[in-house]
């Protein structure tokens, strides 16, 4: 269902297009009538041309005014807090073995994501880290001192990217953006 403002704008556009079509038809009729009218009577029929032209100008102005209104920026809704499971390392520190996963508490603070990694590792370990050189969330290459999150499935992302992803309202917000394996924290992980 459209919001009332959008519904009003769509109705005005439909009305505007209808009036434009009607004015074009009337202009065509005017040209036809003027072509068949004797020269001395053409001055009387010129009013028939002014009416559709005036309608076109008024409707065009209304349509332009309504189309030029800036769209209101809607802030994306976010979850305020979520517990996740990932291994936090620098990109150069990623090794081939399975890193220890930690519970990470991600919070939304003033429209940005902040996270705290617990000191105690969980029982499970991540799969071997995939050898990606680019974060698939932001599409930027990792640099050696990038702080990365290795998810239980082994996919690697910037910590800030995956924390922001975790706070979205999407149904897949606690699933790996690449393979959709869950990285949500559960009580059994402790």
Alpha-carbon distances, residue 85 vs 9, 112, 124 (angstroms):
47, 19, 10
Measured distance CA(50)–CA(35) in Å, rounded: 17
Q: What are phi and psi of 151, to 5 degrees?
A: -80, 165
pLDDT at 158: 92
The pTM (predicted TM-score) of the whole model is 0.56
Q: What are phi and psi of 161, to 5 degrees?
A: -65, -45
Q: Which residue has the higher pLDDT, 127 or 183?
A: 183
Structure-block tokens of residue 125: 């370990």
The pLDDT confidence band at residue 140, using thresholds 50, 70 and 90, is very high
Q: What are phi and psi of 38, to 5 degrees?
A: -60, 155
Measured distance CA(87)–CA(121) in Å, rounded: 9
pLDDT at 1: 44
pLDDT at 47: 66
């Amino acid at each position: 269902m459209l919001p009332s403002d959008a519904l009003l704008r769509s109705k005005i556009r439909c009305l505007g297009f209808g009036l434009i079509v009607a004015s074009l038809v009337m202009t065509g009729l005017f040209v036809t009538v003027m072509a068949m009218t004797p020269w001395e009577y053409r001055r009387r029929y010129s009013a028939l041309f002014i009416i559709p032209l005036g309608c076109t100008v008024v409707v065009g102005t209304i349509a332009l005014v309504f189309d030029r209104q800036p769209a209101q920026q809607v802030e994306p809704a976010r979850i305020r807090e979520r517990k996740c499971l990932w291994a936090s390392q620098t990109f150069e520190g990623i090794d081939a073995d399975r890193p220890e996963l930690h519970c990470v508490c991600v919070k939304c603070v003033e429209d940005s994501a902040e996270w705290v990694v617990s000191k105690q590792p969980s029982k499970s370990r991540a799969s071997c880290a995939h050898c990606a050189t680019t974060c698939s969330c932001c599409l930027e290459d990792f640099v050696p001192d990038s702080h990365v999150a290795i998810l239980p499935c082994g996919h690697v992302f910037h910590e800030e990217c995956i924390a922001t992803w975790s706070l979205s309202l999407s149904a897949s917000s606690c699933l790996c953006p690449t393979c959709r394996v869950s990285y949500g924290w559960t009580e059994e992980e402790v």
